[in-house]
Chain A
Amino acid sequence: MSNPDEEMEQYLKEFKPRAIRPLEAEAPSHRFRLRPLAIAAAIGLTAGLSVWVSRREVAVVPQLPREHQAQASAPFTERRMNSFLLTKLALEDNQTFDAVLTEESRKVLPNLQGQGSMLRVLAAE
């Protein structure tokens, strides 16, 4: 290399790039390795919880006391009714099933008995 080039190189060597902050290697690779494990754990926990809840609801149904059908149906109907539970109840315990339907119908259908019944109101009119 020619002399002027060497001179220029020597001049450039006097300049150093400004220092930069250290590499922030706060183990991102470690964090990325843990992420799939955390996702798998969350999925497992959700699946386990849902299985446990559904089994718990099914297990409660046959334990309804037959002699207090009307009273016993109240806590049952407080839970969210679903077709699976109703079908199971209809197959296993007809009397309780009838009581549950009666209880539910009172909430939905117009009241035809008692002081404020619809019939009395119509008759008064």
Chain B
Amino acid sequence: MQDEKLTAAHVKELYEKHGAALAAYACCCGLDFAAAEDAVQQIFLRLLRGDTSTPQVPAAYLYRAVRNASLNLRRDRSRETAPVEEETWFVRERGAPEEVLALQAALSELPEEQREVVFLRMWSGLTLKEIADATKMPINTTASRYRYALEKLRERLKPRVAKEPYVES
């Protein structure tokens, strides 16, 4: 897979599509929402300046970049302030706010590689095949990680999922 420099229009399009999910992902990696926004902005500004080249499927690259930036920021800030416990980085039209907090906690507890697959699949809209290609992992491994992640989330959120079955609008 060949790396390429992105055009400004392409970078903005990626930001529109993945920015919010990347910020949520950064929050799952331990940042507060403001710091997560800053981290995502910095990564996209670097792309705009053409400082870095990205693979043809840049979503996986973006998630890796956000994860690294989050870990660095968290390490730097660990002595300054504690993360905000009740901050939400997901929204839901219906249901109690506690459900958002429960989902956030469940996602934060997932192993890193499983969390990445869930975000890429659920909130960045990639297929399992695309995720496998982008992360350079076999499709079976990718599918297993996804399935294990869903299993763990279901365990954690079981009462809530059972209580409110999703109705397609």
Interface residues of A (CB under 8 A from B): 1, 4-5, 7-21, 23-25, 28-29, 32
Chain B residue contacts of A20, Cβ below 8 A: 19-20, 23, 36-37, 40
Chain A residue contacts of B50, Cβ below 8 A: 29
B150 to chain A: closest CB distance in Å?
A: 5
Complexed CA–CA distance, A100 and B91 (Å):
86
The 8 Å CB contact of B161, one of A8, A16, A21, A29, is: A8
Say if the beta carbon of B147 comes within 8 Å of chain A.
yes
The answer on a CB contact under 8 Å between B20 and A7 is no
| Supplied contacts A11-B166, A13-B122, 17 more A-B pairs, CB within 8 Å | A5-B147, A9-B122, A11-B164, A13-B166, A14-B95, A15-B90, A15-B100, A16-B90, A17-B24, A17-B89, A20-B23, A23-B15, A23-B45, A25-B8, A28-B48, A29-B8, A32-B49
The 8 Å CB contact of A11, one of B89, B93, B157, is: B157
Complexed CA–CA distance, A9 and B149 (Å):
11
B35 to chain A: closest CB distance in Å?
A: 12
The prevalent SS among residues of B at the interface is helix
Chain A residue contacts of B90, Cβ below 8 A: 15-18
Chain A residue contacts of B40, Cβ below 8 A: 20
Chain A residue contacts of B100, Cβ below 8 A: 15
The answer on a CB contact under 8 Å between B103 and A15 is yes
Complexed CA–CA distance, A8 and B151 (Å):
9
Given contacts A7-B165, A14-B93, contact A21 B37 (CB under 8 A): yes
Interface residues of B (CB under 8 A from A): 8, 11-12, 15, 19-21, 23-24, 33, 36-37, 40-41, 44-45, 48-50, 88-95, 100, 103, 118, 122-123, 147, 150, 153-154, 157, 160-161, 164-166, 168
**Which B residue's beta carbon lies closest to that of A19?**
B20
**Which A residue's beta carbon lies closest to that of B88?**
A18
**Which B residue's beta carbon lies closest to that of A33?**
B49
Chain B residue contacts of A9, Cβ below 8 A: 122, 150
Chain A residue contacts of B21, Cβ below 8 A: 17
A21 to chain B: closest CB distance in Å?
A: 6
